[in-house]
Amino acid sequence: MKYYAGIDLGGTNIVAGVVDEEYNIVAKASTKTNCPRPDKEIADDMAKMVFQAVKNAGLTIDDIEWVGIGTPGIANSSTGVIERANNLGFENTPMVKYISESIDKPVFIENDANAAAYGEYVAGAAKGAKDAVCITLGTGVGSGIIVDGKIYAGSNFAGAEIGHTVIEVDGAQCSCGRKGCFEAYSSATGLIRMTKEAIALFPDCEMAKMAEEKGKVTARTSFDAMRAGDKKAKDVVDKYIKYLAAGITNTINIFQPDILCIGGGVCNEGDPLLLPVKALVEKEDFASNSAKRTEIVIAKLGNDAGIIGAAFLGKANS
């Protein structure tokens, strides 16, 4: 049995995992990222988590074939440098060099959304596809694109940012600086914003009552209130689904992948989210009359996608 190490570097946590050749996570280890602090200190903790995960798996570092890293920001997989990661405070961080100094193994690096997409491609909802797109609906809208089995990162390793394509010109402000981005409307953050806007207009609605009981508005508030019969909540959900379907249709019209999988906490809603999205895409997909249609599915691996994808970056680069 062969084993690989994958690191999922996040703004909050560093998680390392040992993954076997059948895509099973054998063991994990994690610690807080504790940003902001020097990039070398974070790299040292990443290496420590690999060694800890290997120990937890009952193995030694000699049993590991290579180490893969999924990181936020622009990760140059050719030079091993994280050129920019705003939420980590990284600028031209030689991460592969840092990890290689601690772990005498081949080290590979990729953007975290790309790594997660590759995880779904090799072991999850997109397994068996030739071309796939994975979209994650979280704080933002992350995305990864697989073309002919390879991760697509663009000529400058900043590609696949589907979340920063505009679906509402001069619309809501996005964190990237543009207005009306797919991310501003279809992320969990966007759904929360639209829910708060509706509560402000209709303070006696069920959404407002639920938010007051929980002490906050969440991405589930509008869906829960809709199920309780709140018509204003249904309006919010319908609006959210309309924007999400628009972004997904745009993506399908550009790439026409075999599979498009969507993940993230919002997808826990299941069919109340997926079925109406599929119905809208069915109407607007440019290839709607084609015998070959993109299959829209829910991602399977959850938070493990990034670890598994990172662990198999050596395969992606072979």
Indicate the number of domains in the chain. 2
38, two tokens: 């020097």
Clarify whether residues 84 and 174 are in a common domain.
Answer: no
Between CA 266 and CA 58 the distance in angstroms is: 36
Clarify whether residues 94 and 173 are in a common domain.
Answer: no
**What pLDDT is recorded for position 287?**
77
Clarify whether residues 166 and 41 are in a common domain.
Answer: no
Between CA 87 and CA 289 the distance in angstroms is: 43
Q: For the domain that residue 275 is a member of, what is the CATH number?
A: 3.30.420.40
200, two tokens: 């402000």
Three-state DSSP state, 77? coil
Clarify whether residues 229 and 278 are in a common domain.
Answer: yes
Q: Quick one: which of 317, 280, 311, 299 has its CA closest to 117?
A: 299
**What pLDDT is recorded for position 86?**
83
Clarify whether residues 256 and 311 are in a common domain.
Answer: no
**What pLDDT is recorded for position 290?**
74
278, two tokens: 């599929």
**What pLDDT is recorded for position 16?**
98
Q: What's the domain range around 8?
A: 3-122+304-316
Kindly calculate the radius of gyration of the chain based on its CA atoms and give it in whole angstroms.
20
**What pLDDT is recorded for position 139?**
86
Q: What is the pTM of this model?
A: 0.90
Clarify whether residues 258 and 311 are in a common domain.
Answer: no
The sign of the torsion formed by the CA atoms of 116, 112, 74, 253 equals positive
Q: Answer yes or no: are the C-beta atoms of 118 and 108 closer than 8 Å.
A: no
**What pLDDT is recorded for position 285?**
83
Clarify whether residues 135 and 93 are in a common domain.
Answer: no
Three-state DSSP state, 29? strand
Three-state DSSP state, 30? strand
pLDDT in 10s for each residue of the chain, 318 residues: 999 999 999 988 999 999 999 999 999 999 999 989 999 999 999 999 999 999 999 999 999 999 999 999 999 999 999 999 988 989 999 999 999 999 999 999 999 999 999 999 999 999 999 999 999 998 889 999 999 999 999 999 999 999 999 999 999 999 889 999 999 999 999 999 999 999 999 999 999 999 999 999 999 999 999 999 999 999 999 999 999 999 999 999 999 999 999 998 899 898 999 999 999 999 988 877 777 889 999 999 998 999 999 999 998 876
Clarify whether residues 282 and 192 are in a common domain.
Answer: yes
Clarify whether residues 144 and 184 are in a common domain.
Answer: yes
Clarify whether residues 133 and 276 are in a common domain.
Answer: yes
Instruction: Give the helix/strand (H/E) hosting 182.
Output: helix 182-186
Beta strands 259-263 and 132-137, pairing class: parallel
**What pLDDT is recorded for position 291?**
74
Q: Quick one: which of 12, 297, 13, 16 has its CA closest to 4?
A: 16
Clarify whether residues 75 and 108 are in a common domain.
Answer: yes
Instruction: Give the helix/strand (H/E) hosting 64.
Output: strand 64-71
Clarify whether residues 177 and 221 are in a common domain.
Answer: yes
